[in-house]
Amino acid sequence: MKIVVLGGGPGGYVAAIRAAQLGADVTLIERKALGGTCLNVGCIPTKVLLHTSELYAQLKQDGQELGLEAADISFNWPQLQKRKDKIIKLNAGGIDALLKKNKIAKVMGSGTFIGEHELKVTAADGSRQTVNFDYAIIASGSEPARVPIPGADLDGVISSDEALALPEVPESLCIIGGGVIGCEFASVYSSLGCRVTIVEMLPELITTMDQDTVGCLMKQFAKEGIQILTSTQVERIERTESGLKVSTTSSGVSRMIEADKVLIATGRRPVTDGLGLECIGVNADRHGIKVNSRMQTSASHIYAIGDCTGGIMLAHVASAEGMIAAEAILAESSSDIDFRTIPSCVYTRPELASVGMTERLAREKGFEVRTGVFPLQVNAKSMIMGETNGLVKFVVDARTDEILGLHIAGPRATDLIAEGALAIRLEATLDEIATTIHAHPTVAESLLEAAHAAHHRAIHLHG
């Protein structure tokens, strides 16, 4: 059986490998670089910058308290860019090796469907070739969303792609959009000395996450001097002699923000244009390609996964969908994705991580809600790390004690959230967390304490 995968990101290459493991003859087509958005201009490079900026900020702010003296510590932006590129290259090489190991044919170029079982691939040099297939998996990903703001096309107005590779750290940066992308870049550039302003149209930052955890991030942003303007609409961007000027309004009050650079971080949109979907009868609109629970499109032999479907735009979701699509094509039984167990992570300082329902959503759905909250300021390991701005919060069904959600702000939050995802997957109750011994001293034992706190039995909680 011949399967073609259109896109080599975390959804596409995983789908290709799984299909090859199950015996298919697989061809993977990638128009830019293996690893897609995640590896090249998303998850991986942003975390490289965040890691260094976090270390730099902690040494500058807390070095003396930690017993470290580093006179005149400074950062080397060109060297950080080189490290970022090196890590991207290493990971891309790893993906390439995996494709070779699994005997997957790799074709570099832009793929367009020209028939029900035929793709045309155009390489960067203009050369073309045709690829025939029995089944296809579309994993074309997403791109930064374009917003209709006058002046958005001015020089100095950048996307998240460009924000990763600026030649130098700007003195000032205005970020339009207070979601995950905007907050992560705010954390990077503020930590490196840039004056940052975030403009968000909604009343809160990162509205998809529990606002108690987001409050910890807001506290850190305030400490760093980041200006946050919520419930604020951007009217236009203009060029001035000294840089750029962003005009905003909030409750009828106008305000102007001057900045060297303006980052538009208002989300991403599915890439579906130019794929030739009309040639194969695939139903799609501006929200993405329509699929069923097995990732099958309206054309029975065509599947679509990841960001191009307009669903949850996370790399780990795309990978899971890639596995499901490959197994569905090759009649391998597998479970549908349990969307309750998908963790969301923000790699700021403090880190934020969430899985399951927020307290607000649980109440809106009619649950009688109980919460268990434990602040990291009384967690020994957090004290040792000098990272006490955070908390652990369980959201549970008060009638059954079943865990509905887990929300964490603090060090290692993005690692610890896996315990919550597994708990929800297994329909665990608070008792099963509370009776599981957690190692000491760790940040993880705060989960144990938060589980006890829901019933007012936390050992180390004052008051």
- 264-314 per-position pLDDT tens digit: 999 999 999 999 999 999 999 999 999 999 999 999 999 999 999 999 999
Which residues are marked as active site? 440
Question: pTM for the complete prediction?
Answer: 0.95
- Rounded distance between C-alpha atoms, residue 136 and residue 39, angstroms: 23
State the pairing for strand pair 142-144/244-250. Answer: unpaired
243 backbone dihedrals φ, ψ, rounded to 5° = 160, -120
- For residue 104, the model assigns a pLDDT of 98
Provide CB contacts within 8 A for 149, sequence distance 6+.
176, 234, 235, 236, 237, 264
Residue ranges of the binding site for FAD: 47, 111, 307, 313-316
Nearest residue to 109 (alpha-carbon basis) of 188, 30, 210: 30
What pLDDT, in 10s, does the model give residues 316-325? 999 999 999 9
Nearest residue to 307 (alpha-carbon basis) of 19, 38, 24, 16: 38
Cα-Cα-Cα-Cα dihedral sign, residues 244, 250, 254, 255: negative
8 A C-beta contact, residue 288 and residue 308:
yes
- Rounded distance between C-alpha atoms, residue 422 and residue 401, angstroms: 16
Mean pLDDT of 191-218: 97
Confidence of residue 70 (pLDDT cuts 50, 70, 90): confident
8 A C-beta contact, residue 205 and residue 198:
yes
Q: Does domain 2-144+269-329 have CATH number 1.25.40.10?
A: no
Helix (H) or strand (E) holding 409: strand 403-409
State the pairing for strand pair 233-239/244-250. Answer: antiparallel
Dihedral angle of Cα 435, 436, 439, 444, to the nearest 10 degrees: -100
What pLDDT, in 10s, does the model give residues 104-158? 999 999 999 999 999 999 999 999 999 999 999 999 999 998 889 999 999 999 9
Six token digits for residue 251: 């409750």
- Rounded distance between C-alpha atoms, residue 165 and residue 88, angstroms: 13
- For residue 336, the model assigns a pLDDT of 84
Secondary structure letter of residue 373 according to DSSP: E
State the pairing for strand pair 391-397/369-375. Answer: antiparallel
Average pLDDT, the chain: 96
Residue ranges of the binding site: 47, 111, 177-184, 200, 267, 307, 313-316
Confidence of residue 71 (pLDDT cuts 50, 70, 90): confident
What pLDDT, in 10s, does the model give residues 345-357? 999 999 999 999 9
Burial class (CB in 10 A: 0-12, 13-18, 19+), 302: buried
Mean pLDDT of 5-23: 98
Return the domain boundaries, the chain.
2-144+269-329, 157-266, 340-453
Query: If you write DSSP's letter for every residue of 3-59 in order, what string do you get?
Result: EEEE--STTHHHHHHHHHHTT-EEEEEESS-TTHHHHHHSHHHHHHHHHHHHHHHHH
State the pairing for strand pair 195-199/261-264. Answer: unpaired
Count of residues in the chain: 463
- For residue 362, the model assigns a pLDDT of 98
- For residue 69, the model assigns a pLDDT of 86
Start-to-end CA distance of the chain, whole Å, equals 65
Helix (H) or strand (E) holding 191: helix 180-191
Nearest residue to 394 (alpha-carbon basis) of 447, 341, 457: 447
State the pairing for strand pair 253-259/244-250. Answer: antiparallel
Fold of 340-453: Enolase-like; domain 1 (3.30.390)
DSSP β-bridge partners for residue 236: 247
The alpha helices in 225-358, defined as continuous H runs, are: 315-329
- For residue 146, the model assigns a pLDDT of 83
8 A C-beta contact, residue 75 and residue 58:
no
In words, the CATH class of domain 157-266 is alpha beta
Whether residue 459 is predicted with pLDDT greater than 80 in this model: the reply is yes
DSSP β-bridge partners for residue 233: 249
226 backbone dihedrals φ, ψ, rounded to 5° = -75, 130
- For residue 61, the model assigns a pLDDT of 86
Residue ranges of the binding site for NAD(+): 177-184, 200, 267
**Helix (H, G, I), strand (E, B), or coil: what is residue 105?**
strand
Provide CB contacts within 8 A for 148, sequence distance 6+.
none
Whether residue 96 is predicted with pLDDT greater than 80 in this model: the reply is yes
- Rounded distance between C-alpha atoms, residue 141 and residue 270, angstroms: 6
Confidence of residue 194 (pLDDT cuts 50, 70, 90): very high
- For residue 419, the model assigns a pLDDT of 98
> Same fold for the domain at 2-144+269-329 and the one at 157-266?
yes
- Rounded distance between C-alpha atoms, residue 329 and residue 316, angstroms: 20
What pLDDT, in 10s, does the model give residues 378-429? 999 999 999 999 999 999 999 999 999 999 999 999 999 999 999 999 999 9
Mean pLDDT of 245-267: 96
CA angle, residues 220, 223, 226, in degrees to nearest 5: 85
- For residue 378, the model assigns a pLDDT of 96
Cα-Cα-Cα-Cα dihedral sign, residues 239, 241, 244, 249: negative
Confidence of residue 190 (pLDDT cuts 50, 70, 90): very high
8 A C-beta contact, residue 13 and residue 34:
yes
Mean pLDDT check: name the lowest of 5-14, 68-77, 297-306: 68-77
